[in-house]
């Protein structure tokens, strides 16, 4: 059973596959090897008895790790980890928890349920159970993805806004193509930047309506780029992603004909790429230029 989590993450329930492919760790190793041999990319995996622990385990040894949590060792594995590793515990919640003397997931697991309810509301008792390594959520097949995205790592740091716009346009086009392929619309656009000194920052915008075309995504991402601090040491990676996905966009009282034309164009170009390949139809500004570091991707 496979449940997609994002463009490059997912949950697998391999209970029914062990007789054919071996144990969970053996299956994880095989997947990592197959991905590396077929598309040349490393990947990280976490093996555990539930989704919450497996997700945290998969994040620990990026970009090429394999973390295995024993069946009876989830609480012990989680206990020393900082609160930053805790799912759905954001900066504001962490401030409250630290003010109450909690620094690690283990501290959260040992906390009184009533206290956590006062600090985190209805999420408090749930967080306490997760911190103890308890998660009964099943792997759900066929669930629509929560987000779609595309990232580019450059051969060397880019230092100007103009240099960044070309890869951001390319990523916007790739994301729009995936939306069309899956019959989805998105209402939230996120731009991610990794600086040359390895700092990662994101900016996000919620649109007034759902979109599925390159122009709408790129224009939003371009606006978000202007909300970042000075580029400083330069930028090594950019990523465009969309969320707030739906198969049923809200109907408009006064339809936007321009939007309708863009969506028809997106559908037509997607069909051509399906027939002739990803490079079959592109924008003139995205034709690769060997002298442009923004075209040097890996």
End-to-end CA distance of the chain: 30
SS (H, E, C) 70-130: CCCCHHHHHCCCEHHHCCCCCHHHHHHHHHCCCCEHHHHHHCCHHHHHHHHCCHHHHHHHH
Which ranges of the chain would DSSP assign to H, the alpha helix? Answer: 18-21, 24-39, 51-60, 74-78, 91-99, 105-110, 113-120, 123-131, 161-182, 214-225, 257-276
CA dihedral of residues 265, 266, 270, 272 (deg, nearest 10): 20
Active site residue ranges: 9
DSSP-derived 3-state class of residue 217: helix
Both structure tokens of 148:
């779609």
């Amino acid at each position: 059973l496979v449940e997609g989590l994002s463009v490059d993450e997912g949950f697998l329930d391999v209970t029914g596959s062990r007789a054919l492919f071996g144990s969970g760790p053996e299956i994880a190793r095989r997947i990592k090897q197959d991905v590396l041999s077929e598309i040349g990319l490393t990947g990280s995996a976490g093996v555990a008895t539930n989704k919450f622990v497996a997700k945290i385990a998969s994040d620990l040894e990026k970009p090429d790790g394999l973390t295995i949590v024993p069946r009876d060792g989830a609480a012990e594995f989680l206990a020393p980890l900082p609160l930053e590793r805790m799912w759905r515990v954001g900066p504001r919640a962490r401030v409250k928890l630290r003010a109450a003397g909690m620094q690690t997931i283990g501290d959260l697991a040992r906390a009184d349920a009533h206290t956590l309810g006062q600090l985190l509301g209805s999420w408090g008792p749930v967080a306490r159970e997760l911190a103890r390594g308890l998660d009964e959520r099943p792997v759900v097949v066929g669930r629509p993805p929560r987000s779609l995205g595309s990232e580019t790592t450059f051969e060397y740091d880019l230092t100007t806004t103009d240099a960044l716009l070309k890869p951001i346009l390319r990523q916007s086009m790739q994301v729009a193509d995936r939306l069309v392929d899956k019959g989805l619309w998105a209402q939230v656009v996120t731009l991610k930047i990794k600086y040359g000194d390895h700092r990662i920052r994101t900016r996000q915008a919620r649109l007034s309506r759902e979109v599925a075309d390159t122009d709408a995504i790129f224009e939003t991402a371009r606006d978000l780029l202007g909300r970042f601090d000075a580029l400083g040491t330069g930028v090594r990676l950019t990523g465009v992603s969309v969320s707030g996905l739906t198969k049923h966009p809200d109907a408009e009282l006064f339809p936007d004909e321009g939007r309708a034309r863009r969506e028809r164009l997106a559908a037509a170009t997607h069909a051509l790429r399906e027939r002739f390949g990803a490079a079959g139809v592109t924008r003139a500004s995205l034709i690769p230029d060997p002298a442009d570091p923004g075209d040097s991707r890996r």
